[in-house]
Amino acid sequence: MKQFNVAVVGATGLVGETMLRVLEERGFSVRELLPLASENSRGKSVKFAGKKIPVQALSKDSFKGMDFALFSAGASVSLEYAPIAASSGAIVIDNTSAFRMEEDIPLIVPEVNGDVLKSFKGGIIANPNCSTIQLVCVLKPIHDVAKIKRVVVSTYQSVSGAGRDAIGELEEGSRNVHCKVKTFPHRIAFNCIPHIDVFEMNGYTREELKVVNETKKIMGDETIAVTCTAVRVPVKVGHSESVNIETFKKLSAQDARIILSKAPNVVVIDEPAMASYPLAINAEGRDEVFVGRIREDISIENGIECWVVSDNLRKGAATNAVQIAELLI
């Protein structure tokens, strides 16, 4: 079996660490692993395949001989170094927002539009926003059967989406309600904050507009109307979404359950009478997208309501990136 040299940029961050774990768990054929991070991480090491591997400082010469470069170190880092990695011959899979809406760069969720990569000739591939990934895994099978007219989504996003310091702030705030607020605009412990990323002139945040624009690009249909409200909630790992789908063709709730139960990597958990529905605490550490609370919308003729949950560090980031690499090989 052919083996590959793989660089992971941002290897000491939450997503970078998860990428290493997923590469190992899924048995990705790695010949050489190169963990890269900023100068601040020099001297640190990561564990991979039973070995401790020293972290190297990211530089313009880091990518020589690399087959894949997985980026998770922030958009500014990707903008500077991803083109360098690509020009060095590596296939770049970028987990940041740097290239997602570039017309000539594919934005991929393998279960939804992996066929786009049949014509990929090398360069950069963008990994979508975590909330978008789990959303489109549910939308695509519905769209294929009933054609979606409009989507209204409210996200309930865990603090891990904001990094390691955010988890610490939640834990500290849970012990001390008077702790200093650093990562978020307000205290996150015992609170919900309807504010992720910066606000734009139209009143939407950038996080909300990522969901809107990325969904249309991945689905390959600009006619789908999408609106989003993104909320940060006091959950450690796992993003949840309330999703309202209006279709052109009538679907019953049972129709939707059957369609989704056959969708790749989607697990239906939908027995509300037994208090059985997707929960963030159960999705943590899993790679599937979970959907439940499936019901017909009583306010419109052709509408389906559902609740969607996934691990934002895994399927929402690291696992999706590794799946892209697997698809290419």
By C-alpha distance, which of 205, 286, 276 is closest to 238? Answer: 286
Question: What distance in Å separates the CA atoms of residue 288 and residue 310, rounded to the nearest whole number?
Answer: 7
Is 44:37 a contact under the CB 8 Å cutoff?
Answer: yes
Question: What distance in Å separates the CA atoms of residue 116 and residue 218, rounded to the nearest whole number?
Answer: 10
Is 266:292 a contact under the CB 8 Å cutoff?
Answer: no
Amino acid (1-letter code) at residue 190:
F
Question: What distance in Å separates the CA atoms of residue 9 and residue 127, rounded to the nearest whole number?
Answer: 14
For tokens 């660490």, name the residue. 17
Annotated active-site residue 239? The verdict is yes
Given 143, 228, 239, 306, the catalytic residue = 239
Given 130, 137, 228, 306, the catalytic residue = 130
By C-alpha distance, which of 176, 129, 177, 189 is closest to 153? Answer: 129
Is 39:56 a contact under the CB 8 Å cutoff?
Answer: no
Helices 14-25 and 319-328 sit at what angle, rounded to 10 degrees?
50
Question: What distance in Å separates the CA atoms of residue 228 and residue 154, rounded to the nearest whole number?
Answer: 6
Annotated active-site residue 186? The verdict is no
Catalytic (active-site) positions: 130, 239
